[in-house]
Amino acid sequence: MKRMLASLAGLAMVVLTLNGCGKEEPTAATAQAAPQDVFEWKMVTTWPRNYPGLGMAPENFAKAVNAMSGGRLKVKVHGAGELVPAMGVFDAVARGAVQMGHGAAYYWKGKSPAAQFFTAVPFGMNVQEMNGWLHYGGGMELWREVYAPFNLVPFAGGSTGVQMAGWFKKEINSVDDLKGLKMRIPGLAGEVFQRLGGVPVTLPGGELFTALQTGSIDATEWVGPYNDLTFGLYKAADYYYYPGWHEPGAMLEFIVNKDTWESLPPDLQAIVTYATRAINQDMLDEYTARNNSALKELVDKHGVQLRKLPDDVVDALRIASKQVIQETIAEDETAKKVYESFQSFRADVMPYTAISEAAFLEIRGDD
């Protein structure tokens, strides 16, 4: 953190110097960096290579840092299964086998239950609120604290916005319809689903279509129209439910090996930091632009049956979510600390969201 602040201060000095008097004087950051050093990183991801949306964040990040660093930091992206399996990303970066990874913190709940709160909390915060908590509400400091024992430095790595509740082979008309249903649904939401009688499984995205088509699962959540269309999930299930109660803005992550991070010159650290911030926003921009036409194609061309989850099912999910979260934090001090920060920010932000975003959406009309 100190090094990052030092590098940011260095950049600020550059800006001030350039703006102030036009002289190009050496600064702390430029003096410390060794311009001749070229750093070559491997980044492993939990997504298939070049997968639209989620999988483009690592590619876009690699392009951005290469351009911003003038080629001094080169990042090569390896999709799921190329160097390590999708679910091996955390360990590979932690032990330094590779320098960097991209995925989602809730995949690592087995490492630390607290990790789940950095991806998605059922009935939690939307993307705007989540970004506010992480970057201006103390969330990111906690995330670093949770990952420090694993020798990892985390960064927000893109958000999908509110997701879809998922693909189902049969209609869901009551809580009873969830009983015995085998569904791919990771993280806290999976435990909530189990509480209502469902059978949750965690599978990487690349395995969803086959699992759904062969009947080894009855339902799956993935992301939203743009990504779900790409995987062809509509060919394996007819009913597409909303809203994404479980992932009201799933936040992805970049992780960097801590030793690698600390050996990086401050100016390159600043480039990595700001590139992640840019990519974090860029992903949301892309989903906002592409989900609409994908939804139209799913419904108009492929005959997908769009359904809203019944109110009583949503109510049951909400109640079960509170129970699961309370039990999770009762068993783990770190999870409790993270959730208390999350929940306190959520309580503070909700009144204004209600009279700004929510109130505006209500008044703006349909045409």
User: By the criterion CB under 5 A, which residues form the site for Ca ion?
Assistant: 163, 221, 247
- Rounded to 5°, the CA angle 285-288-292 comes to 150
**Dist. CA 206–CA 51, nearest whole Å:** 10
Q: Which is nearer to Ca ion, 53 or 137 (CB)?
A: 53
**Dist. CA 307–CA 317, nearest whole Å:** 17
**Dist. CA 136–CA 21, nearest whole Å:** 32
Least separation, in Å, of the C-beta of 301 and Ca ion?
Answer: 23
Read off φ and ψ for residue 41, nearest 5 degrees.
Answer: -115, 150
Least separation, in Å, of the C-beta of 297 and Ca ion?
Answer: 20
Q: Are the C-beta atoms of residues 175 and 312 closer than 8 Å to each other?
A: yes
Least separation, in Å, of the C-beta of 162 and Ca ion?
Answer: 11
Least separation, in Å, of the C-beta of 119 and Ca ion?
Answer: 9
Q: Which is nearer to Ca ion, 41 or 231 (CB)?
A: 231
Q: Which is nearer to Ca ion, 131 or 159 (CB)?
A: 159
Least separation, in Å, of the C-beta of 340 and Ca ion?
Answer: 25
**Dist. CA 117–CA 249, nearest whole Å:** 12
Least separation, in Å, of the C-beta of 82 and Ca ion?
Answer: 22
**CB-based burial, 241-261: b 16+ in 10 Å, e otherwise:** bbebbbbbbbbbbbbbbbebb
Q: Which is nearer to Ca ion, 59 or 247 (CB)?
A: 247
Instruction: Give the residue from 136, 157, 187 showing the smallest Cα distance to 282.
Output: 157
Q: Are the C-beta atoms of residues 193 and 261 closer than 8 Å to each other?
A: no
